[in-house]
């Protein structure tokens, strides 16, 4: 069962879907979830929410501010800290729903939002369970894997020029999210990024736009969600890392997992970053369901 919802995030209206199990014996545990860098909810989040509903859990799925059906300006701008705060606004909202048990809230994130849930899990004790799928752990270290070292001075010059232009009152510079040429300027310069975003937008999300503000990339490089990994405990943490991930690079994520404290679990997914949504969906969603069900349904939780 899915219904359209909207809620206030301190002056910005965010929109999405609330999924609930079909059988009427709630209130249900709820999973709060949104997508990664520039992606919108139609890009497979409905599949995860369906699986969670079949396992007896509600899901609040929403578009990040400035993207998709949500409000917010400037459009196509990704501020990771705004998105972290919006997870917390979404938690506040879903706890008001009569269908939801406010003491049993989990969070799920993937890729960029996989980094966000590491932060939220550490700072918001209303959260009782965390699932981070193919997560970003270090924007700086990850950026240095994605951007050739001889290209870095040119990128920095672009950031500086854009900052000075904005100071003069000009509109923010834009950059493609993906490009068929991995050497062309883009936010996510990997071949699998181009293939997944273009195919998925054609098939499932025609409203997705292939652009973000240039300062979104600058903020990506400044973002260090892995700093919070040791502080998620005692909230249970599941990290699902793709074995061949070249976008949120797998060895960086695994090294980050080692810094987390118990209770925690690491699952290695087959394939690359985007296989988690498609060919590896049964594995990624199955691992998430098992973890969430264990800590939100099967176990008693401490009241919030």
Instruction: Compute the CA torsion angle 7, 219, 288, 301 (nearest 10 deg).
Output: -60
Domain assignment of residue 64, yes or no: yes
**DSSP β-bridge partners for residue 19:** 2, 59
Phi then psi for residue 147, to 5 deg, are -105, 125
How many structural domains comprise the chain? 1
Residue 136 pLDDT greater than 90, yes or no: yes
Domain assignment of residue 34, yes or no: yes
Helices (H) and strands (E) in the chain — how many of each? 9, 10
Domain assignment of residue 159, yes or no: no
Domain assignment of residue 14, yes or no: yes
What is residue 149's predicted lDDT score, i.e. its pLDDT?
82
Six-digit token pair at 134?
């193919």
In the chain, what percentage of residues exceed pLDDT 70? 98
What is residue 177's predicted lDDT score, i.e. its pLDDT?
97
Cα–Cα distances (Å) from 269 to 87, 188, 223, 236, in that order, read: 25, 21, 24, 19
- With beta carbons less than 8 A apart as the criterion, state whether 274 and 282 touch: no
Cα–Cα distances (Å) from 253 to 54, 128, 163, in that order, read: 29, 22, 31
Domain assignment of residue 192, yes or no: no
What is residue 294's predicted lDDT score, i.e. its pLDDT?
97
Measure the CA–CA gap between 209 and 39, rounded to whole angstroms.
9
Domain assignment of residue 104, yes or no: yes
pLDDT confidence band for 23 (50 / 70 / 90): confident
Mean pLDDT of the chain: 95
Domain of 280, CATH number, reads 3.40.50.1820
What is residue 46's predicted lDDT score, i.e. its pLDDT?
98
What average pLDDT does this structure show over 257-275? 98
Six-digit token pair at 61?
């799925």
Domain assignment of residue 303, yes or no: no
**DSSP β-bridge partners for residue 4:** 17
* 148-174 pLDDT per residue, tens: 788 888 889 999 999 999 999 999 999
Output the pTM of the full model. Answer: 0.96
Domain assignment of residue 68, yes or no: yes
Find the domain containing 95 and state its range: 2-139+224-298
Residue 302 pLDDT greater than 50, yes or no: no
Residue 301 pLDDT greater than 80, yes or no: no
* 239-260 pLDDT per residue, tens: 999 999 999 999 999 999 999 9
Residue 303 pLDDT greater than 50, yes or no: no
């Amino acid at each position: 069962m899915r219904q359209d919802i909207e809620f206030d995030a301190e002056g910005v209206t965010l929109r999405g879907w609330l999924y609930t199990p079909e059988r009427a014996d709630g209130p249900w545990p709820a999973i709060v979830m949104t997508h990664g860098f520039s992606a919108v909810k139609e890009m497979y989040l409905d599949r995860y929410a369906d699986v969670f509903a079949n396992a007896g859990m509600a899901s609040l799925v929403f578009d990040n501010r400035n993207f998709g059906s949500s409000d917010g300006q400037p459009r196509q701008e990704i501020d990771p800290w705004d998105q972290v705060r919006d997870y917390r606004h979404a938690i506040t909202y879903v706890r008001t729903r009569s269908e939801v048990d406010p003491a049993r809230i989990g969070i799920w994130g993937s890729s960029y939002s996989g980094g966000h849930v590491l932060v939220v899990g550490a700072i918001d004790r209303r959260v009782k369970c965390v699932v981070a799928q193919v997560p970003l752990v270090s924007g700086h270290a990850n950026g240095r894997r994605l951007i050739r070292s001889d290209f870095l001075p040119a990128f920095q010059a672009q950031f500086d020029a854009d900052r000075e232009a904005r100071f003069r009152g000009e509109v923010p510079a834009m950059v493609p999210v993906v490009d068929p040429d991995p050497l062309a300027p883009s936010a996510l310069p990997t071949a699998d990024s181009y293939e997944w975003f273009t195919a998925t937008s054609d098939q499932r999300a025609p409203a997705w736009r292939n652009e973000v503000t240039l300062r979104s990339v600058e903020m990506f490089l400044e973002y260090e969600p892995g700093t919070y990994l040791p502080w998620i405990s005692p909230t249970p943490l599941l990290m699902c890392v793709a074995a061949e991930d070249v976008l949120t690079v797998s060895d960086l994520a695994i090294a980050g997992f080692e810094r987390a404290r118990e209770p925690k679990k690491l699952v290695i997914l087959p394939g690359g970053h985007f296989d988690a949504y498609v060919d590896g969906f049964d594995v990624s969603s199955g691992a998430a369901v098992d973890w969430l069900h264990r800590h939100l349904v099967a176990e008693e939780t401490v009241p919030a």
